[in-house]
């Protein structure tokens, strides 16, 4: 059963999922701490290049199936125009100011 983004526990993660699903690149970037980093399948990636390719230019969309770790870890079905749909895990490091300093994703 899918968890609606508005029902996700952590406000930063909730806003992240909402920005991805509404294709709001500016809103997405505003959620990230300065110098934020990310990894995909265990390899660090260039954040700007990755989000453009994997989320915004390819119409990425997250359907969250489960959350854990206080809302900082998600199991979700992720789809985009490049890869279709796959089961993924997302984990987030949220700073004290409520911004995301790192996210990691990969196939689950």
Could you report the per-residue pLDDT of 20-68, keeping only the tens digit for each? 999 999 999 999 999 999 999 999 999 999 999 999 999 999 999 999 9
- 86 pLDDT tier (thresholds 50, 70, 90): very high
In angstroms, rounded to a whole number, what is the distance separating the alpha carbons of residues 56 and 65? 22
Answer whether residue 1 shows pLDDT above 90: no
Report the mean per-residue pLDDT for the chain.
97
pTM > 0.85: yes
Q: Coil, strand, or helix at residue 23?
A: coil
Domains in the chain and their CATH numbers?
A: 5-107 (3.10.450.50)
Q: What is the pLDDT of residue 60?
A: 98
């Amino acid at each position: 059963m899918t968890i609606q983004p508005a029902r996700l526990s952590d406000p930063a993660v909730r806003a992240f999922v909402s920005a991805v699903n509404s294709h709001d690149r500016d809103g997405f970037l505003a959620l990230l701490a300065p110098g934020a980093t990310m990894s995909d399948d265990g390899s660090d990636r260039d954040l700007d290049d990755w989000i453009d390719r994997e989320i915004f230019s390819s119409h990425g969309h997250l359907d969250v199936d489960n959350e854990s770790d206080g809302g900082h870890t998600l199991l979700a079905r992720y789809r985009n125009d490049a890869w279709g749909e796959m089961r993924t895990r997302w984990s987030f490091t949220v700073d004290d100011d409520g911004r995301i300093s790192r996210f990691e994703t990969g196939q689950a």
